[in-house]
Amino acid sequence: MIYADNAATTKMSRTAIDAMLPYMEEIWGNPSSLYEVGQRAQEALWSARERIAAAIGATPKEIYFTSGGSEADNQAIISAARWGERKGKKHIISTAFEHHAVLHTLDKLAREGFEIELLDVHANGLITRDQVADAIREDTCLVTIMFANNEIGTVQPIAQIGSLCKEKGVVFHTDAVQAAGHLPINVQEMNIDLLSMSAHKFHGPKGTGVLYARKGIPLVNVIEGGAQERGKRGGTENVPGIMGMAAALEEECAGMEQNTAKLLKLRDRLIDGLSKIPHSALNGDRESRLPGNVSFCFEGVEGESLLLLLDDKGICASSGSACTSGSLDPSHVLLAIGRPHEVAHGSLRLTLSSENTEEDVDAILKAVPEVVEYLRNMSPLWKDKVSGKKSFVI
């Protein structure tokens, strides 16, 4: 099997699994309990908090453990919105191509009377600092813009947007789920107030994540319960998961330079090879993109059929995000960068990890052109285009 869907989830690393086992087999106490097996779990949690904070330039008290990226996004946005509301500020700036954990939370706030302004994404999949500057108003309480897009892999100018928000006194949240462990992050240098991440996107376990909240930003609970996480997130902490997350993040940060160099080679070979397919187009900027992301549209092809045929050849890929598969609507991300519906339906996302090899790339470069040609040959619409009765879009 060739796994090329690392934006959907990653395989857990041996390091992460090994870091978790002692907290299932030996130190399985409740971290809130006073006896030793509980206190040892509490100490472990604190060490994980310190290590995760260090990885992003934060302090341990600014780290809140959550059930993953979605919960962190919800809590960050709702907290900033409630804080703004108390000051009479109800304008929020975001983008049209955020993850649904962000977009659906914003929808909820819109129904409560918040004004949500979604910036248009340029055709290259990027938002500029100037777009944000033009949108900020007196009553803006939050700017929430993802660090890197989960479908097309474009990396936004987060440090520039962060310094702008600081200058204007607006809270800045970034969904860094695709960036954490893959790109350097420093919340101080980048002036990030709130940041979300998720362990299963960097070779840690599923169901555990982090909300970083700068000191002084009042958090609102989205999970009510006990006094865990300094009263801001009820529920017994997922100690094994958190230990696995800390180990995975440390490992990915330590190996980042080496992994990036390897991934760039594989990614660029894939992009060059797939670009040779006629009537194809790379989605998103070629330079400002995640080192493992390859996203294409192929005209005259149905994305779902493409994936099924690739699956037959042992290749795991996706058409867009895992969250939208199963619905027949084209990806909101591809529509946001201006791909017509017809073209957006023919999308393919390949997301690599450092476990992928040159041989994987060879196999993908052999399989995709074959499958695309096969599907096009079956399509009456494609025949009309080839014969000139209809025109090509890309």
Q: Catalytic site residues?
A: 323
Answer yes or no whether residue 201 interacts with ligand PLP by CB under 6 A: yes
Is the distance from CB of 307 to CB of 320 less than 8 angstroms? no
Least separation in angstroms between residue 364's CB and ligand PLP is 22
Instruction: Please select the residue that binds ligand PLP; options are 6, 10, 13, 70, rule is CB under 6 A.
Output: 70
- C-beta neighbour count of 12 within 10 angstroms: 17
Answer yes or no whether residue 146 interacts with ligand PLP by CB under 6 A: yes
Instruction: Please select the residue that binds ligand PLP; options are 74, 198, 295, 318, rule is CB under 6 A.
Output: 198
By CB under 6 A, how many residues form the interface with ligand PLP?
A: 15
The span of 62-70, 252-260, 270-278, 325-333 binding ligand PLP (CB under 6 A) equals 62-70
Go through the chain and tell me how many residues it has: 394
Least separation in angstroms between residue 373's CB and ligand PLP is 31
The continuous run of DSSP H or E covering 115 comes out as: strand 115-119
- Smallest CA-to-CA distance from 163 within 189, 143, 202, 145 is with 189
Least separation in angstroms between residue 141's CB and ligand PLP is 21
Least separation in angstroms between residue 287's CB and ligand PLP is 20
In a 3-state reduction of DSSP, which class is residue 362?
helix
Answer yes or no whether residue 153 interacts with ligand PLP by CB under 6 A: no
Answer yes or no whether residue 187 interacts with ligand PLP by CB under 6 A: no
Answer yes or no whether residue 175 interacts with ligand PLP by CB under 6 A: yes
- Smallest CA-to-CA distance from 207 within 253, 173, 249, 239 is with 239
d(CA 74, CA 105): 6
Least separation in angstroms between residue 387's CB and ligand PLP is 41
Q: Which residue has the tokens 């099997």?
A: 1
Answer yes or no whether residue 84 interacts with ligand PLP by CB under 6 A: no
The 3-state secondary structure of 297-341, one letter per residue: EECCCCHHHHHHHHHHCCEECECCCCCCCCCCCCCHHHHHCCCCH
Q: Residue 223 — φ and ψ, nearest 5°?
A: -115, 110
Rg (CA), the chain: 22
Answer yes or no whether residue 356 interacts with ligand PLP by CB under 6 A: no
The span of 47-55, 69-77, 137-145, 338-346 binding ligand PLP (CB under 6 A) equals 69-77
d(CA 3, CA 275): 21
Answer yes or no whether residue 177 interacts with ligand PLP by CB under 6 A: yes
Answer yes or no whether residue 320 interacts with ligand PLP by CB under 6 A: no
- Tokens in use for 211? 């909300």
The span of 184-192, 196-204, 212-220, 380-388 binding ligand PLP (CB under 6 A) equals 196-204
Binding mask 88-127 for ligand PLP (x = CB under 6 A): -----------x-x--------------------------
Nearer to ligand PLP, 336 or 368 (CB): 336
The continuous run of DSSP H or E covering 140 comes out as: strand 140-144
Nearer to ligand PLP, 29 or 292 (CB): 292
The span of 51-59, 66-74, 218-226, 276-284 binding ligand PLP (CB under 6 A) equals 66-74
Answer yes or no whether residue 178 interacts with ligand PLP by CB under 6 A: yes
- C-beta neighbour count of 364 within 10 angstroms: 26
The span of 67-75, 83-91, 128-136, 340-348 binding ligand PLP (CB under 6 A) equals 67-75
- Tokens in use for 225? 């319960």
d(CA 311, CA 318): 10
Burial class (CB in 10 A: 0-12, 13-18, 19+), 363: middle
Q: Name the residues that contact ligand PLP, by CB under 6 A.
A: 68-70, 73, 99, 101, 146, 150, 175, 177-178, 198, 200-201, 209
